[in-house]
Structure formats: C-alpha cells, structure tokens
C-alpha cells in the first residue's frame, strides 16, 4: 500500500513540476512578446522624432508678411530688422519690456505701411498714469524712417511679475 501512495505522490510531484515548467515558459514567452512590442513601438517613435528633427533643420523662415494671406499674388510686406539694443527711450517700462513693446510696434508699423520704423526720432509719452491695478497707457509716435510717422496707443498691464503689452487698434 505504501508503494501505491509513493507512486501517486511521485506522479503528483511529477505533474506539479510539469505544470510549474509550463507556467514559467508561458510567462517568459509573454515577457518576450511585451519586450519585442515595446522595442518596435519605441523604434517607431525614434524614427518619427528623427524625421521631425530633420524637417525642422530644413525649415525656412519667411522673409515677408503677405498683405492678403488669401491672395497668392498679393505683395509681401518686409519684416523690419529688429535691433533690440536700439529701442526708443521713455515711458514707464523697464528696458526688457520696452524692447518687447518696440518689437511689437515695429511689426504693426510695417503692416500699416511704415517703411522702416526706427527708434531714433520715436517719441514715447504717457497718456494715462498707472491706475490702482498698475495698468497704464502710452502713446508711441513712431518714426517711419522716410519723414513720416505713425501713432500707436499701447496699454501696459502688470501681471505675475511681467508687463503685458497690447496695442490698441482703432
């Protein structure tokens, strides 16, 4: 009787070992499949990123702003040369905010036909002192470089440690 119990126990151990071996094999196969899939999709992401990087390397910056973006034959307005060290003096802003404002004004001036806006001869005057929230307004009379000038009204709004510049278009 002991022999039959020992043989049943041996068969049971043998079956248990086979089941454990099959489970381990299945788990390893699943790990291999997951690793292969992750590698495949990781490589696809790498190829896409490399392609995007190469496209950015070949990107050309436009040299003009079309006066009518819907008309392919419309003339382009040249983008002014930005010389941030040559911002006009005056107003209540610090140097860095004045440079941002000057760059913005140059773009709007070029769109409105001001040939070559220059800091020399541009006059900044305060039209509204800062109110309780710190907002103030300035009037910029921009020298167009050809003997003419254009007037721009700016609203300057302090927010979170910076000053937002907006041009009032009328």
Give the helix/strand (H/E) hosting 21.
helix 2-57
40 by Cβ neighbours in 10 Å (0-12 / 13-18 / 19+) ranks as: exposed
Q: Is residue 108 located within the same domain as residue 126?
A: yes
Q: Is residue 108 located within the same domain as residue 160?
A: yes
Q: Is residue 72 located within the same domain as residue 156?
A: yes
* Res 3: pLDDT: 57
Overall domain count for the chain: 2
For the chain (170 residues), the mean pLDDT of every run of 10, in chain order, is 58 80 93 92 88 76 60 61 70 86 87 84 93 93 89 92 85
Q: Is residue 13 located within the same domain as residue 44?
A: yes
* Res 9: pLDDT: 64
Range of the domain at 20: 1-59
Q: Is residue 92 located within the same domain as residue 156?
A: yes
Q: State the Cα–Cα distance between residues 151 and 43, nearest whole angstrom.
A: 56
Q: Is residue 69 located within the same domain as residue 55?
A: no
Q: What is the pTM of this model?
A: 0.52
């Amino acid at each position: 009787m002991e022999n039959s119990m020992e043989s049943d126990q041996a068969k049971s151990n043998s079956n248990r070992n086979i089941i454990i071996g099959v489970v381990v094999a299945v788990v390893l196969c699943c790990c291999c499949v997951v690793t292969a899939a992750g590698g495949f999709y990781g490589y696809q992401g790498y190829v896409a990123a490399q392609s995007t990087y190469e496209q950015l390397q070949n990107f050309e910056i436009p040299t003009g702003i079309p006066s009518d973006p819907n008309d392919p034959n419309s003339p382009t307005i040249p983008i002014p040369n930005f010389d941030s060290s040559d911002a006009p003096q005056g107003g209540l802003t610090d140097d860095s905010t004045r440079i941002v404002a000057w760059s913005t004004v140059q773009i709007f001036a070029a769109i409105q036909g001001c040939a070559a806006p220059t800091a020399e001869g541009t006059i900044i005057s305060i039209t509204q002192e800062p109110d309780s929230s710190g907002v103030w307004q300035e009037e910029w009379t921009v020298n167009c470089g050809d003997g003419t000038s254009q007037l721009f009204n700016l609203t300057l709004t302090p927010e979170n440690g910076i000053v937002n510049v907006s041009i009032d278009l009328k």
